[in-house]
Amino acid sequence: MKLIALIQISALPALGVHAFDEDSLLQVTHASRHVCRHGRKKCHPPVQSCAEFRGCKGKWQPKKDAPATCRPKGCSKRDCCTSAVPTTPFDCNNSVNFVLNAQYSQISLNDEEAYAGTEHAECKDTAVAEALAYCKAECLYHRSGCTGFFFQKHTNGHEICGFYSEAVNATNLEKHVHQQCSQVCILQPTPTPTPTPNSTTPIGAQDEWLPTPADELKRSADESASFYPSAGSRAQGTPCMTGFKELNVEKPYEGEKKILLLGTSKFLLPCTNGKLFNTGHHSTETLVPMYHFDKAGFKFDVATEDGAPLALEEWTFPLAEGYEDKLHEIRSKVQQQLEMPRKYSDISESLDGYAAVFIPGGHGPLIDMHTQEPLGRLLRSAHAKGLTTISLCHGPTALRAAAVGGDFPYKDYKIAVFPDAVDKTSPSFGYLPGPLRAEDTAESHLKDLGCKVQNTEMDDTVVVDRELITGASQLAAQKVAEAAVQVLVEKYMQQ
């Protein structure tokens, strides 16, 4: 018999004190992370909880009764806010408000499912700014191929946005009878700079939404040219996780069982346009859980497909604003295991001596972890033993290896994983240097194998189903660690 419980991870008791039923399934609901508006249900990356957002840098006015937080004027503590929609791409013109003879897809901003906006009979600067921010984010992050949109505020206060999917013809711009704040916003193409010999332009000084050349990250002189995310997307994703906190483990584990980290040494992910993404495992997704596992008393073995050093996304460390020192602390402590890992094939399939398996995220696992037969054998063995298996973001794509040379054991498991839809849109703001190849997507292939994906957004959803603990993205790293430590405390430290 299986019992499914929905709880907030923050509501868990002090670790090591209370336990939930042994055969229960824990699904941690994700926190709302919306552009600031009462009751809005749709999220856009990159956004954060109002209660957690800090360091506004003048973009929002703090509310008088909560000077330590940052939110748009008039938002309550229960509302949620975006740090900012990218400022670069749109050219907005309120002398026009429609494009003649252009197909568009329309949403109502007063529709609770889309926006839950409040109708005002007249234009109000704050409300219009929020509506435009919402439509810009909708165009950028949720509508593949979007070239721009119109925002119209009707005389009765009703607001709509219509999104174009073809190039906007400037000669067809018109002004209909709507309120003055109505306008057309056109997504501006970002020109690719022509490289010049012996250029002295520093790395990262290019246009903020172009992928950044990764020359300074090369591991060898003959390594192929690659890219890491644009300066704009990195800035918008900082901090890459909120809510870091120490866990209260009353009595750390003192036994001999270790946590087995199964990762990859591969770090160059090819895109369909021939460009390479400089990746590996995301530092937050790898080291935040390891930090908490270490504090709970567990030691580690690390294994990669070829025994080469575990690949980490070095460019992600500065994104760990507020807790980067914790990442460096645990990295230093496990440096030898990370740099001199074992091979998958060196690990006994009995998995005796291990308390859990951990597969961290980052785009690195997409490269070929799902093709590794020795990894698949270990995962099938872990499943057969009921060994706690932990993964997040793109890491769960490695579960596909369990279907290589055997029956896939995770059919009908509920999981969280990074959404393919976000990967599909990320080249538009320079996170990826190009679209992913079809064979490298995670979510769709896991669904094809029978996994039941519970999240639709890049958020902090955590799902625990039987022995499998999964998280949706880097935003879930802390909560994945909390859920995993809770399970391990009950399993090994309360006997």
pLDDT value of residue 110: 76
Instruction: Annotate 77-96 with b (16+ C-beta within 10 A) or e (fewer).
Output: eebbbbbbbbeebbeeebeb
pLDDT value of residue 196: 38
pLDDT value of residue 140: 77
Q: Please give the Cα distance from 134 to 126 (Å, whole number).
A: 12
Instruction: Annotate 195-212 with b (16+ C-beta within 10 A) or e (fewer).
Output: eeeeeeeeeeebebbbbb
- Cβ-Cβ contacts under 8 Å for 201 (sequence gap 6 or more): none
Q: Which residue has the tokens 């996780």?
A: 241
In this prediction the pTM is 0.65
Crossing angle of the two packed helices 283-295 and 324-333, in degrees rounded to 10:
70
Q: Please give the Cα distance from 269 to 243 (Å, whole number).
A: 30
What value, to the nearest 5°, has the Cα angle with vertex 309 and ends 306 and 311? 105
Q: Please give the Cα distance from 103 to 6 (Å, whole number).
A: 43
Count of other CB atoms within 10 angstroms of residue 52: 16
Residue 131: φ, ψ to 5°: -65, -45
pLDDT value of residue 80: 38
CATH topology of domain 3-32+234-492: Rossmann fold (3.40.50)
Residue 325: φ, ψ to 5°: -60, -30
Instruction: Annotate 98-110 with b (16+ C-beta within 10 A) or e (fewer).
Output: bbeebebeebebb
Q: Please give the Cα distance from 41 to 112 (Å, whole number).
A: 8
Residue 162: φ, ψ to 5°: -120, 130
Among this protein's residues, is 393 annotated catalytic? yes
**Spelled out in words, what is the top-level CATH class assigned to the domain 89-187?**
alpha beta
pLDDT value of residue 208: 82
Q: Are 281 and 317 in contact (CB under 8 A)?
A: no
Q: Please give the Cα distance from 349 to 364 (Å, whole number).
A: 24
Q: Which residues pair with 276 in a beta bridge?
A: 270
Taking Cα atoms as reference points, which of 210, 276, 240 lies closest to residue 440? Answer: 276
pLDDT value of residue 143: 80
Q: Please give the Cα distance from 2 to 24 (Å, whole number).
A: 6
Of the residues 139, 185, 240, 393, only one is catalytic, namely: 393
- Going by their DSSP bridges, the two strands 268-270 and 276-278 should be labelled as antiparallel
Q: Please give the Cα distance from 227 to 432 (Å, whole number).
A: 8
Q: Are 419 and 45 in contact (CB under 8 A)?
A: no
| Encoded amino acid at 79, one letter | D
Q: Are 425 and 144 in contact (CB under 8 A)?
A: yes
pLDDT value of residue 157: 84
Distances from the Cα of 58 to the Cαs of 33, 70, 129, in angstroms? Answer: 20, 9, 15
324 three-class SS: helix
Distances from the Cα of 230 to the Cαs of 110, 214, 399, 401, 423, in angstroms? Answer: 34, 11, 30, 31, 14
Domains of the chain: which residue ranges?
A: 3-32+234-492, 36-80, 89-187
* Strand ranges (E), 129-217: 148-153, 159-164, 173-174, 183-187, 212-213
**Could you read off the pLDDT tens digit of each residue along the chain, which spans 495 residues?**
222 233 233 333 333 322 222 222 222 222 222 333 333 333 333 333 333 333 333 333 333 333 333 333 333 333 334 434 444 578 899 999 999 888 899 988 876 444 545 666 788 877 787 788 778 877 876 787 888 999 999 888 888 999 998 888 778 899 988 899 999 999 876 544 433 333 333 333 447 889 999 999 999 999 999 999 999 899 888 999 999 999 999 899 999 999 999 999 999 999 999 999 999 999 999 999 999 999 999 999 999 999 999 999 999 999 999 999 999 999 999 999 999 999 999 999 999 999 999 999 999 999 999 999 999 999 999 999 999 999 999 999 999 999 999 999 999 999 999 999 999 989 988 999 999 999 999 999 999 999 999 999 999 999 999 999 999 999 999 999 999 999 999 999 875
Which tokens sit at 45?
């990356």
| Encoded amino acid at 153, one letter | K
